[in-house]
Structure 1
Amino acid sequence: MLRYRAEFDAEVTFTDGGDLSARRFQVDVPHADVTEAEITERLIALLAPRPVDRARLSAVRVFGEPAVIPGPRRARTRFVELSHVIRDGLTTYPGLPAPQISHYLSHAESRDRYAPGTEFSIDRISMVGNTGTYLDSPFHRYADGTDLAGLPLERLAELPAVVVRTAGGPRGVTAETLGQVDVAGRAVLLHTGGDRHWATRDYAVNAPYLTREGAQDLVDRGAALVGIDAVNIDDISAQAHGERPAHSLLLAAGIPIVEHLTNLAALPVHGFRFTATPPRVAGFGTFPVRAYATVPA
């Protein structure tokens, strides 16, 4: 789409005295076949309210240029990192193997494969899906549940989100605690403070968790995703006898879970969006994510 402009030199005399000279002056015109008289009328209109006695144009040319169509203004946002860094040998969950990170092909080893000055690193990682900050799909709990490849992006990206702050309170996040929070269609992030013990022996000791009643409340009220900054969304102490009610209820309802979040203290309680997207791996239930929030600046 083109817009048209006329460029010209002008000598203008005003009725109330004085004159004006212009070189390569430009005005917008409606089409390429505009006449000099029409261009003069537009110049006189631009000079109003000064009354013009005479206007003489010269060196007139009309040209087209691409029109700039303004789009909607994008609100300014800032990004908040909510994931832990995965490093070689880092233990995420007690009893599960740490990731092993190595080179399949190092920069130095690649040099004889490419032109002088060109080199690449191709890296290898061996790990279980439960490494770092990760997302659980229903397949993690149920053999016939949706796997990572089947999760729709609508359940993972740019979700309106809320933070429920329970740090310093009881270990179990209850339905009563959640009762005053609007969770329908939102990512519900449980800020328990459990991440302060990340990568230490204390991380799994008396860790915060979501109670059975709390999980059922989130299911009943239509939460879109649930995350926690602790070792597990369930109680993993010996007193729990291996039961996993939060996993069972949330994943049966198709609600993804993100565990081992961090930095939730940097978020407002509401008014932001949350994203945690794993790769589309078929036949896989859990995988690390780059979890982050977008917050209005």
Structure 2
Amino acid sequence: MPLVDLSHDFADGMPGFSLRRDGEVKQFTAAIRPFVTHEASAPFYDGKASFEITEVFFQTSIGTYLDAPRHRWKERRDIAALSLDELVLPGLCVSVAAARPGERIGLSRIDLPADLSGLAVLIRFGWDAHWGKPAYDDYPFIDADVIEALRARGARLLGVDTTNVDTRHDPARPAHSILLGQDILIVENLRHLDRLPASGFRFFAIPIKAVGAAAMTIRAFAETA
């Protein structure tokens, strides 16, 4: 079965998110560097072998990542508590034509089937084309009627190729609040959704089994027919 990589590269100094605190903007990213180098390890093996051990620092909402219910709801399940059958799902990919920066996208712009039972619903805005550019931070997002349709029609996961399923201008974060409240998982910062068929594929959103983590970077990919 052909596999389609849907993840952004995870790299030192990669694009991340920002938070404004006390008038100061804090930019989040990843730091990747050798913890033990080949040169430092070689003497332990009489020069016959050498190894590198890599050290990685990052916040869990970096790159292509998965939100567990705990991300929004303090007492709910963390990443480690998610079962594999929640992370490997039949997929539906829906494209939004000509989405505009900051546009609120409702059901009039997204053609969702009446039955979404058990599906990972991936919404393609085409925003991955702006990854690493200022335009990436001014993204379209889903409206309340789409959120309600996902909940009511039985979706198991929502994925987008933007940095957030919610607008940053609504502090209630309705998509995160409602969907994670119903154990509907969220994946953000996907890419290459244009390489997927509308249906007939399996979506994989696999994090490390991190106890206590509310979100986690993943290797997202799809298996197509």
Q: Normalising by structure 2, report the TM-score.
A: 0.91
* Matched residue type, 2:80: A
In the alignment, the residues of structure 2 paired with residue 131 and residue 103 of structure 1 have an alpha-carbon distance, to the nearest angstrom, of 20
The answer to whether the Cα contact below 8 Å between 2:64 and 2:190 also exists between their aligned partners in 1 is: yes
Match of 2:172 among 222, 243, 263: 243
Alignment partners' CA distance in 2, 1:122 and 1:200: 32
Structure 2 unaligned regions, length at least 5: 20-26
Aligned residue pairs total 215
Could you say which structure has the larger radius of gyration?
A: 1
For residues 60-82 of structure 1, what are the alpha-carbon distances to aligned partners after superposition, in whole Å with 9 as ceiling and x for unaligned? xxxxxxxxxxxxxxxxx100000
Cα 1:183–1:173 change in 2 (3 A) is farther
For residues 137 and 243 of structure 1, what CA distance do their matches in structure 2 show?
Answer: 17
Does residue 278 of the first structure (1) align with residue 183 of the second (2)?
A: no
Q: Runs ≥4 in structure 1, deviation > 6 angstroms?
A: none
Q: Find 1:227's aligned residue among 159, 163, 166.
A: 159
In structure 1, which of residues 217, 220, 238 is the aligned counterpart of residue 149 of structure 2?
Answer: 217
Partner Cα distance (1:252, 1:178) in 2: 24
1:141-172 CA distances to partner (integer Å, 9 max, x unpaired)?
00011100101111102x11010100314633
1:147 aligns with 2:71: no
* RMSD of aligned Cα (Å): 1.4
Q: Distance in 1 between matches of 2:200 and 2:114?
A: 13
Select 1:167's aligned residue among 97, 118, 124: 97
The answer to whether structure 1 residue 109 and structure 2 residue 40 are counterparts is: yes
- Offset at 1:116? 3.0
**Counterpart residue identity of residue 91, structure 2:** A
Please state how far the C-alpha of 1:182 moved relative to its aligned partner: 4.1
Counterparts of residues 28-39 of structure 1 (less than 5 Å)? none
Instruction: List per-residue Cα deviations over 1:173-224 (Å, max 9, x = no partner).
Output: 323424436421110000011111111111112x011222211110111101
Q: Equivalent residue of 1:231, what SS?
A: coil
Identical-pair percentage: 34
Q: CA deviation at 1:115?
A: 4.1
Residue 50 of structure 1 corresponds to none
Paired residue secondary structure (2:121): strand
Report the equivalent of 1:183.
116
In the alignment, the residues of structure 2 paired with residue 243 and residue 195 of structure 1 have an alpha-carbon distance, to the nearest angstrom, of 25
Separation (CA, whole Å) in 1 of partners of 2:114 and 2:161: 18
Determine the C-alpha separation between the residues in 2 that align with 1:242 and 1:223.
24
Cα distance change, pair 113–181 in 1 and its aligned pair in 2 (3 A) = farther
Q: For residue 121 of structure 1, what is the aligned residue in structure 2?
A: 52
Q: Is the 8 A contact 1:175 1:215 kept in 2?
A: no
Matched, 1:290 2:222: no
- State whether residues 206 and 218 of structure 2, in contact with CA within 8 Å, keep that contact through their aligned partners in structure 1: yes
1:94 Cα deviation (Å)? 3.0
Matches of 1:193 and 1:136 in 2, distance apart?
A: 21
Aligned to 1:193: 126
Mapped partners of 2:164, 2:59: distance in 1: 16
Deviates more, 1:261-270 or 1:104-113: 104-113
TM-score normalised over the length of structure 1: 0.69
User: What is aligned with 2:15?
Assistant: 91
Distance 2:213 2:178 in 1: 19
> Does the CA-based 8 Å contact 2:115-2:154 persist in structure 1?
no
